[in-house]
Amino acid sequence: MISRRTKRAKIYQSRTHILVTLLFIVVPFLFLLVFSRLAHITTGKLFSDLFISAGRLAAAYGLAAIIGWLSAVLFYHGKRAVIALPIFDVLQSFPTFAALPMAVFLWGHSNFVVIFFLIITVIWPIFFSIISSLKLIKRDWQEVAEIAGLSGFNYLKIFLLPITMPGLITGSIIGLGEGWEALVATEIITGVKSGLGGFFETFSRNIPITALGIFGFLIFIFSVNKLIWLPLLEWSHHKMEE
């Protein structure tokens, strides 16, 4: 008989959760308002820097997720895996910042350079987490899909996407964590004048503002994780419970 022993993902299902959610949106917003006053910069400039940086990271993340997912699905098993996985393992250890000055020399102070370097930072945790999800596919599940004759879009939608979802979300959390860090550094090194990198460079000699800026940055990342990624992680693992 049916047993309701399994724990449901309860986030957003109660008044407390809605209040906590609002708090996570309101606190970073208020912090930025106060912070802009303290730093004597216009609130608009601060928000535009934040959104430009977040936009660059979002673009890089979107591309990294697509490329990482496709590569993982193509290379997770068989002879292709034997050849490709050691190569990817070496590539992920490549010190990307070493090549950054050369990229600036070749392509200039551009969004392209920032996004490209963000992609090669974010993609590896996504790729390897999805590989790990795919390696855990049970033979029975694969055979069920085969017997059912699933192929093409149905195989992708009904089988591959749900199976890779926990890996994609775990990899995204790690990848974006590294991405935020790389974002600021890349923006400073490439010398693009907009974004959080530009902001921190401008206030590099003002320790209190830099410290407060880093603190605000952390609140923002924490809120995004709490509001988006952690509920998604819980949901994806709950879906895979047997």
Partner 1 sequence: MNTALELKNISKSFQEKPGETLVALKNISLEIRLGEFFIFLGPSGAGKSTLLRVMSGLEKSYEGNLSLSGEIAKSDFSFVFQQFALLPWLTVRENIGLGLMSRNLSSADRNKRVSEELKLFKLEKFSQAFPRELSGGMRQRVGLARALCTNPKIIFMDEPFSELDSFTAEELRQDLLKIWNERKMTIVMVSHNIEEALELADRIAVLTPLPGRIEKIIENSLPRPRNKRSPDFYRLYDELYTLIKP
The residues of the shown chain that bind partner 1, judged by CB under 8 A, are 1-4, 6, 138, 140-141, 143-144, 146-151, 154, 158-159, 162-163, 239-242
- Cβ closer to partner 1: 7 or 205? 7
Nearer to partner 1, 136 or 211 (CB): 136
**DSSP characters over 172-222:** HHHHHHHHHHHHHHHHHHHT-SSSHHHHHHHTTT-HHHHHHHHHHHHHHHH
Residues 6 or more apart whose CB falls under 8 angstroms from that of 158 comprise 145, 150
In the bound state with partner 1, the residue whose beta carbon lies nearer, of 42 and 154, is: 154
Residue of 27, 23, 62, 28 whose CA lies nearest to 46? 28
The minimum distance between CB 138 and partner 1, in angstroms, equals 7
Q: How far apart are CA 120 and CA 93, in angstroms?
A: 11
CB atoms within 10 A of CB 208: 10
The distance of closest approach from Cβ of residue 241 to partner 1 in the complex, given in angstroms and rounded to an integer, is: 5
Query: How far is residue 211's CA from residue 209's CA, in Å, rounded to a whole number?
Result: 5
* Smallest distance from partner 1 to CB 125, Å: 23
Nearer to partner 1, 23 or 240 (CB): 240
DSSP 127-152: HHHHHHHHHT--HHHHHHHHHTT--H
Nearest to 88 by CA among 61, 51, 120, 49: 120
Tell me the closest approach of the beta carbon of residue 130 to partner 1, in angstroms: 16
As measured in angstroms, the least distance from the Cβ of 146 to partner 1 is 7
> In which element (H, E) is residue 71 found?
helix 43-75
Residue 1 beta carbon to partner 1: minimum distance, rounded to whole angstroms: 6
Token pair 């970073």 is found at 28
Nearer to partner 1, 82 or 240 (CB): 240
